Structure 1
Amino acid sequence: MEPLSLPLEQGVNFRDLGGYQTKDGQRIKKNKVIRSGSLGNLSPNDLAFLDDYGLRYDVDFRSSTEQKDAPDRLPNGVNYYFTPVFPEDETKSSAKDRRKKIFMSDPEAGFKNMIRAYKDIVLQASAKKAYREFFDVLLANDKDKEAVLFHCSAGKDRTGMGAVYLLSVLGVDEKTIRNDYLASNKFLAPWTERELSKRKLPLEHQEVFLSNLKALGSVRESYLNTALTVMQREYGSLEGYLKHELYLTKQQVKDLKQIYLEKL
């Protein structure tokens, strides 16, 4: 199935994970879990929409700098959780600004940056803590008609891995999980083009610089494969990572399925 996009005026990459089927013949409930990009520019209509949608929990994976620059706008009554995956954003603007000279000379710099970031998503203590707290919030979201939203800035990398973890735990097949991960490229395309058009690109090495920006602003199977390979090498499998590093118990997995799945 196609990802379920939410029709927000100022929201980027907002999607309900409801509707995905599991390998044992169930499906994820709608209006229970949302993945998205930044909430910093939401309009009053967007806030009213999310309130009506049942949003009650907000998990923010961004760094403290990102949070300060664009604080989340939320409906009244939403529980906010600040759970930074990285102390600073390794996947986007901060890394790009620091390495601008490299990005003008090395056509693979953006790609290499993302590969490093996806290794860190698995290995850094801050990332493990953030995703464990994410699952704690998911487990608390046990009332009907209430939803949890998790996000970063663009909703593609830190958020993308959160979705990979959750969909895997719920028993969604690998093809669907990969398609959901890669769908960020489609949903972010108009926003990415607008952002690039605003930038004053260097006259020299413009093609190399633009290529690196695109590597930072997109998702690729190679990025996800990097994270999965690290999990396989260090922890035996994604399931082993969730069990031994994020401390998900069999009972918690059972509870998550009870909360988020329904019969077809």
Structure 2
Amino acid sequence: MMPERLLIKNGVNFRELGGYQTTTGQQIRKRKLLRSAALSQLSTEDLNYLGEYGLKYDIDFRSPQERQKQPDRLPDQANYYFAPVFTVDQTRSQDDARQHDQRLLNEENAGFKQMLDAYNDIVLSANAKKAYRQFFDLLLANDAPDQSVIFHCSAGKDRTGMGAVYALTALGVDQATIRADYLASNVFLKERFKPMADRVPVAQQNPIYQENIQALSTVSEEYLDCALGTIQREAGSLEHYLATELGVTPAQQRDLKKIYLTD
């Protein structure tokens, strides 16, 4: 199923995770678990919409530089939590200096390799593990009715995408559905990433650069498989990784299911 798009006008990749079915036949509750790209450009109308949606917790996976450059805008009742996955944005999702990067301009597959490195760091780095542990703590805190949590980075595709992989796995959603949700970012971000001719000087519109920017600007099965392969090598399975590396206990998984799944 295609995820339900939230009716946000000044933002992209805003969507519900409610409605997904688990392997036990339950569903994730609507208006509880949301994912998105940046919240920095939200209009007053958007803020009112999220306020009516019950937004209580905002989890920001961006780097300190990204947060400083584009701080979140939130409805009054929402609380902000900073959980940086990277100390700098390795996915380069908001990096204006990309068009001057000689590797991206001249080296084939540089963008693709950079993304694989970023996904390995998402799995392996202590900073990322700390951020996702905080993420689960806040998911567990979101236990009141009529309250929702949103988690995001800049484009809502990589750091947010892996957050969704972890959360949906803990809730018992099957891996095919989780993969489809991850890849849906390419659909939701089409409007954000305009054709190359609209975004860079003519002198830099070479095929190598275009391919590298495409690699940085989209999600790929190969990126997800890189992360999952690293998890398999390090922990044996995704479920074991959640338990041993992120510290999500069986009791906490049961609590998460009580909070986010239908009876």
TM score, norm. by length of structure 1: 0.96
AA paired with 1:201? Answer: P
Aligned twin of 1:131: 132
Deviation at 1:138, TM superposition (A): 0.3
CA distance in 1, matches of 2:146, 2:197: 40
Does the Cα contact within 8 Å between 2:99 and 2:204 map onto a contact in 1?
no
Deviation at 1:46, TM superposition (A): 0.2
**Identity of counterpart residues, as a percentage?**
53
The correspondence of residues 1-264 of structure 1 with structure 2, limited to 5 A, is 1-92=1-92, 93-94=94-95, 97=98, 100-193=101-194, 196-201=196-201, 203=203, 206-263=206-263
Deviations 1:20-57 (A, max 9, x none): 00000100000001000000000110000000000000
Unaligned runs of 5+ in 1: none
Could you say what the CA RMSD is over the residues aligned between the two structures, in angstroms?
1.5
Deviation at 1:199, TM superposition (A): 2.5
Does the Cα contact within 8 Å between 1:105 and 1:205 map onto a contact in 2?
no
CA distance in 1, matches of 2:17, 2:100: 35
Detail structure 1 runs of 4+ shifted over 3 Å in the superposition.
93-99
Give the paired residue count.
262
What SS is found at the alignment partner of 2:248? Answer: coil
What SS is found at the alignment partner of 2:262? Answer: strand
Deviation at 1:200, TM superposition (A): 2.4
Does the Cα contact within 8 Å between 1:14 and 1:36 map onto a contact in 2?
yes
Deviation at 1:95, TM superposition (A): 9.4
Deviations 1:51-108 (A, max 9, x none): 0000000000000000001000000021110000000000014496397101111120
CA distance in 2, matches of 1:173, 1:96: 39
TM score, norm. by length of structure 2: 0.96
Deviation at 1:207, TM superposition (A): 1.4
Q: Which moved more, 1:196-205 or 1:44-53?
A: 196-205
Does the Cα contact within 8 Å between 2:108 and 2:208 map onto a contact in 1?
yes
What SS is found at the alignment partner of 2:146? Answer: coil
Does the Cα contact within 8 Å between 2:186 and 2:218 map onto a contact in 1?
yes
CA distance in 1, matches of 2:52, 2:255: 25
CA distance in 1, matches of 2:36, 2:189: 11
Q: 1:120 to 1:261 in 2, by over 3 A?
A: same
